[in-house]
Amino acid sequence: MKYISTRGGGEPKSFEEVVLTGLAPDGGLYVPQELPKFSQEEIASWAGLSYQDLALKIITPFVDGAIPHADLKKLIDKSYSTFRHGGIAPLIQTGHNEWIMELFHGPTLAFKDFALQFLGNLLDYILAKRNQKVVIMGATSGDTGSAAIEGCRRCENIDIFILHPHNRVSEVQRRQMTTVAADNVHNIAMHGNFDDCQNMVKASFSDQSFLPEGRQLAAVNSINWARIMAQIVYYFWASLSLGGPQRRVSFSVPTGNFGDIFAGYLAHKMGLPIEQLVIATNQNDILHRCISENDHSTRPLEQSLAPSMDIMISSNFERLLFDLYDRDGPAIAELMKEAKAGHMNLSDSALIEARKLFTSYRCDNDGMLEMIRSVLQESDYLMDPHTAIGLDAARHCRANTETPMVTLATAHPAKFPHAVREAGYPTDPELPTHLADLFEKEEHYAVLDNDQDAVQAFIAGNITE
């Protein structure tokens, strides 16, 4: 299988090349030339599989022989061996045909572990085979950073540098990154917001001349195709758990960068019967405005109680647009110029096509806090703020109560004690045992200005030999 850029430039790349490259040279994102398709009979035959074996079935066509089957199985098994729940992604019922899929049982308590445990192992495997070392540079609005660090901290061929917006992530999120004592792990708290951090990463990928000879940047943000690929699996897992593929299922996804819900779109395209995908946003609602009003204009970023969604530039939305515009790379390149300038409108045909599957909803801080309170009273179930936004969107946008609606629970409530307490919970939610000493550990991070030269000089000066 070959991979192409959403902006139409360059030659098709192999799976290994795409994993190591991240962003295409023309600024586009890599997608498969063709998606694998599964019949209803084939999907139904997977009903009794473990999560790991299901992942092997779905990921194998994308790898397409680049990794021997036995080695790929070992990588997948190793990646999910660190999860603290036997079901990996358990489903909890909160109402009539209403479910929450808990994606926070990995080592860093967030859905990012599903992709980044796998990506860390995958990168180390590929780099060892190539006798190569890389520098990972990533931006995080909270959860990607700790999951990436946890996935890469033991990798012998990787130096990892994670940028987070200074004082704009929760204390638990920050400490999960900054208390990791490893020579190859470096945290940068950058003055600004997540979009500033993400723009810094993209600019550095475009010009890597600041790196020592023989090193290149690799991506762990959701621009890396391998992350999207790994996230497709849990949509199939949920569907099979709820009577699919004979029964259609809907999903509500709290999202800022569009990667997690794009994985659901791909699952649908691959043959999974999905009735509805709900884009759940906080007050930074550019995705909701785009789908509901065709208004993709950037506005000042607001700091919210759901900080992982405080994003105005949703990188993975470009991957969906590529399909909506019939995979016309030059058209996407022009569209992205408009988006970068601050305002973009979709064509009528693209918007009509998007609305066949996607609906959207905006939930602000007040709505989120009320949802945490009400579900706690109704079901004695405590949610984090992002999951609460997803469930609020699910209840407002649900088209059919006879179709199971699954909200993706993207993080453990203990990661956001301030929001949970503000919703009326009497104490800070307890961290799981493996993180019980988090607040006792020493932190290590550098606070830097939003200055490309300063950030790149820091990275160049801290790469291990």
pLDDT in tens, 289-300: 999 999 999 999
465, pLDDT greater than 90: no
What one-character DSSP code corresponds to residue 46? T
pLDDT band at 404 (very low <50, low <70, confident <90, very high): very high
How does pLDDT run across 1-20, given as a tens digit for each residue? Answer: 999 999 999 999 999 999 99
Query: Using CA atoms, how far apart are residues 12 and 5, in angstroms rounded to an integer?
Result: 8
Whose CA is closest to 304, among 260, 248, 366?
366
Neighbour tally for 409: CB within 10 Å: 29
Q: Which residues contact 267 (CB under 8 A, 6 or more apart)?
A: 232, 235, 236, 239, 274
Write down the pLDDT at residue 464. Answer: 87
Report the CATH number of the 133-213+439-461 domain. Answer: 3.40.50.1100
Give yes or no on whether 3-108+224-419 and 133-213+439-461 have one common fold: yes
CATH 3.40.50.1100 is the classification of domain 3-108+224-419:
yes
How does pLDDT run across 420-441, given as a tens digit for each residue? Answer: 999 999 999 999 999 999 999 9
* 395 membership: H or E segment, kind and range: helix 385-397
pLDDT band at 151 (very low <50, low <70, confident <90, very high): very high
Q: What is the mean pLDDT of the chain?
A: 95
Query: Which positions are catalytic?
Result: 112
Could you tell me where the DSSP H helices lie in 132-224?
143-152, 171-178, 194-206
pLDDT band at 219 (very low <50, low <70, confident <90, very high): confident
- Mean predicted confidence (pLDDT) in 149-172: 94
Could you tell me where the DSSP H helices lie in 187-328?
194-206, 225-241, 259-269, 286-293, 317-324
143, pLDDT greater than 90: no
**CA torsion 238→243→247→253, rounded to 10°?**
-20
- Mean predicted confidence (pLDDT) in 224-239: 97
Write down the pLDDT at residue 279. Answer: 98
Query: Using CA atoms, how far apart are residues 91 and 76, in angstroms rounded to an integer?
Result: 21
Could you tell me where the DSSP H helices lie in 256-303?
259-269, 286-293
Write down the pLDDT at residue 118. Answer: 96
- Mean predicted confidence (pLDDT) in 250-259: 96
242, pLDDT greater than 80: yes
**Which of 22-26, 54-58, 264-268 is least confident?**
22-26
Task: List the Cα angle 263/327/116 in 5-degree steps.
Answer: 25
Could you tell me the residue ranges of all domains in the chain?
3-108+224-419, 133-213+439-461
How does pLDDT run across 173-203, given as a tens digit for each residue? Answer: 999 999 999 999 999 999 999 999 999 998 9
Query: Using CA atoms, how far apart are residues 190 and 451, in angstroms rounded to an integer?
Result: 9
**This prediction's pTM:** 0.94
Query: Using CA atoms, how far apart are residues 267 and 229, in angstroms rounded to an integer?
Result: 10
222, pLDDT greater than 90: no
How far is Cα of residue 290 from the mean position of the Cα atoms in its chain? 20
Query: Using CA atoms, how far apart are residues 110 and 89, in angstroms rounded to an integer?
Result: 11
Output the DSSP codes for 90-121.
-EEEEETTEEEEE---STTSBTHHHHHHHHHH
Query: Using CA atoms, how far apart are residues 166 and 187, in angstroms rounded to an integer?
Result: 11
Q: Return the HEC string of 52-90.
A: HHHHHHHHHHHHCCCCCHHHHHHHHHHHHCCCCCCCCCC
Write down the pLDDT at residue 142. Answer: 80
